[in-house]
Amino acid sequence: MFGRELSSQLAERGWKSVLCFSGPPTEEVRRYLDVPSVTLEVLSAPSRFSWQLIRSFWEILSRHRPEIVHLQFTPFLSLYPWLARLQSARRVYFSDHHSRPAPYVACRAALWRRAVSSSINLPMTAVISVSEFNRGCLTTTGLLPSKRIRTIYNAVDLARTNGDAQAGLAFRRKHSIPLDCPLVVQVSWIIPQKGFPDLLEVARLVLAQNPDVRFSFVGEGAYRKEYMQRTREMGLEDRVIWTGLVVDPLGEGVFHAADVICQLSRWQEAFGWTIAEAMACNKPLVATRVGGIPELVKHGETGFLVTPGDVESTAERILEFLRDPNLRERMGAAGRKAVEANFNLKVNVAKLLQFYGIG
């Protein structure tokens, strides 16, 4: 969605764009990005250093001679900025999407690390931070001057969030979720860092008080089979639904199907894209107070923030939502307004183009 919106706004200003993927994009993605002035390229495993990778990147630069290079999901320290400058790029940007481990406390880096970072990133024009949390981490470490860091939030294509209830009903039918039962959803990788051990205990506590509730965990990950087995051992297999990978949660009605959205991450989230998508769909949140999440979820306004591992409080907040439809509606509406104000894809991409110097 970001690549399509960025390319469209660039095309309106007479620019061409090249979108590099880490693997061949699917046919659906190719069709979605079939807009004027867009070329697709593949740069395999861009986070791993190899001479073959350097050669591939150099060849892409040689073919297209870009004036601006924007690095995303690549290492903070790499040869990419130097290669871009040595070719044709007059400006090089890097987006910091990096979530920090738990627990994480930012501290000033050692002098030698700051010197190495300064040398490697000398050709970099600026860093785009996707949250104030990430910006604070970067400025505290001193690896880059604060004047070269700008916060522009990740964002949601609001045009794709206005689906009707039919998509939500279709999602429930597909996964055999009763149409009239309360539904709690988390969309994420199925890994410990996303709080799944806590989620299962929360589900047990909620279901002990309201056995009509269903929990749906949407996503894939290395721990899914292990957590499914734990679900069976807890006797919750009839009320916890594991959907596997859902390629397009917005399009497939995941958020519209839910009554409450959870995001119980343990690690320090850089942003929380699925949180913003859920808020755009007028859904209230129960989320952990980590990383950049409090910049999205305002406690008592758009949802509730809880401490990681505090399963009792988390279960109480979910039950509070399920008991009070008016509370869900009020906080869901407030979340939608917050997305419109701060996480609107069209607006935030326009801010990025201004930062590029393309007004």
C-alpha closest to that of 338 among 278, 292, 290, 288: 278
Pairing, β 183-187 against β 260-263: parallel
| End-to-end Cα separation, the chain, in angstroms | 21
Pairing, β 38-42 against β 17-21: parallel
Bond preceding residue 103 cis, omega within 30 of 0:
yes
pLDDT at 66: 97
Instruction: Round to whole Å and give the CA distance between 209 and 213.
Output: 9
**Can 2-155+344-356 and 161-342 be said to share one CATH topology?**
yes
For residue 329, give every residue at least 6 positions away whose Cβ sits within 8 Å of its Cβ, in sequence order, or none: 282
Instruction: Round to whole Å and give the CA distance between 286 and 206.
Output: 13
Instruction: Round to whole Å and give the CA distance between 273 and 36.
Output: 27
CATH 3.20.20.120 assigned to 2-155+344-356: no
**CA 216 to each of CA 70, 178, 236, 245: distance values in angstroms, whole numbers, following the listed order:** 36, 12, 12, 12
pLDDT at 36: 79
Question: Residue 268's beta-bridge partner residues?
Answer: 100
What's the 3-state SS for the chain? CHHHHHHHHHHHCCCCEEEEECCCCCHHHHHHCCCCCEEEEECCCCCCCCHHHHHHHHHHHHHHCCCEEEEECCCCCCCHHHHHHHHCCCEEEEEECCCECCCCCCCCCCHHHHHHHHHHCCCCCEEEECCHHHHHHHHHHCCCCHHHEEECCCCECHHHCCCCHHHHHHHHHHCCCCCCCCEEEEECCCCHHHCHHHHHHHHHHHHHHCCCCEEEEECCCCCHHHHHHHHHHCCCCCCEEEEECCCCCCCCCHHHHCCEEEECCCCECCCCHHHHHHHHCCCCEEEECCCCHHHCCCECCCEEEECCCCHHHHHHHHHHHHHCHHHHHHHHHHHHHHHHHHCEHHHHHHHHHHHHCCC
CATH homologous superfamily for the domain 161-342: Glycogen Phosphorylase B; (3.40.50.2000)
Ranges of each domain in the chain: 2-155+344-356, 161-342
Sort residue 14 into left (φ over 0), alpha (ψ -120 to 50) or beta.
left
Instruction: Round to whole Å and give the CA distance between 299 and 297.
Output: 6
For residue 313, give every residue at least 6 positions away whose Cβ sits within 8 Å of its Cβ, in sequence order, or none: 306, 307
Instruction: Round to whole Å and give the CA distance between 6 and 17.
Output: 9
Residues of the chain with pLDDT under 50: none
Give the phi and the psi of residue 291 in degrees, each rounded to 5: 50, -130
CA of residue 313 relative to chain centroid, distance? 25
For residue 323, give every residue at least 6 positions away whose Cβ sits within 8 Å of its Cβ, in sequence order, or none: none
For residue 130, give every residue at least 6 positions away whose Cβ sits within 8 Å of its Cβ, in sequence order, or none: 95, 96, 97, 151, 152, 153, 154, 270, 271, 292
State pTM to two decimals: 0.93
